């Protein structure tokens, strides 16, 4: 269920960011939904729209998110205030166990 929800959410992100370059390095080969705060360790943010953006495979997989550069790109996209808010959430509310009901809601929201 968690996996299915992530697949649907990530597809939404790729559609939302279609035509954008990699949030971290600006590559035009960006085709993955990459997390700023990784799913592992920050499960509460795994479905947060600010936390997931279009990224290239190089940054997402081989540079483990290329987080320092990700932050710079994210500030350009949502502003310093938004990033600070996200970082605040990451420190106060890091881990979340998603219930089946919540996952169903997310699927419903992002499926179309
Ligand atoms: Zn990249």
**44 DSSP assignment:** G
Residues with CB under 5 Å of ion ligand 1 are 22, 24-25, 27, 56, 59
Report pTM: 0.94
From the CA of 10, how far away is ligand 1's center (Å)?
A: 17
**Does residue 40 sit in helix, strand or coil?**
coil
Return d(Cα 29, Cα 46) in angstroms, integer.
23
Q: Could you read off the pLDDT tens digit of each residue along the chain, which spans 112 residues?
A: 999 999 999 999 999 999 999 999 999 999 999 999 999 999 999 999 999 999 999 999 988 778 999 999 999 999 999 999 999 999 998 999 999 999 999 999 999 7
Residue 86: phi and psi, rounded to 5, are -60, -45
From the CA of 108, how far away is ligand 1's center (Å)?
A: 30
Burial (0-12, 13-18, 19+ Cβ within 10 Å), 95: exposed
From the CA of 102, how far away is ligand 1's center (Å)?
A: 31
Half-sphere exposure of 50 (CA within 13 A, CB side): 19
């Amino acid at each position: 269920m968690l996996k299915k929800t992530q697949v649907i959410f990530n597809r939404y992100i790729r559609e939302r960011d279609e035509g954008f370059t990699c949030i971290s390095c600006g590559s035009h080969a960006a085709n993955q939904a990459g997390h700023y705060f990784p799913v592992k360790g920050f499960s509460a943010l795994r479905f947060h729209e600010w936390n997931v953006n279009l990224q290239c495979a190089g940054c997402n997989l081989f540079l483990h998110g290329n987080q320092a550069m990700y932050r710079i790109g994210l500030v350009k996209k949502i502003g310093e205030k938004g990033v600070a808010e996200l970082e605040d959430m990451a420190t106060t509310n890091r881990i979340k166990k998603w219930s089946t009901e919540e996952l169903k809601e997310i699927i419903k929201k992002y499926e179309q």
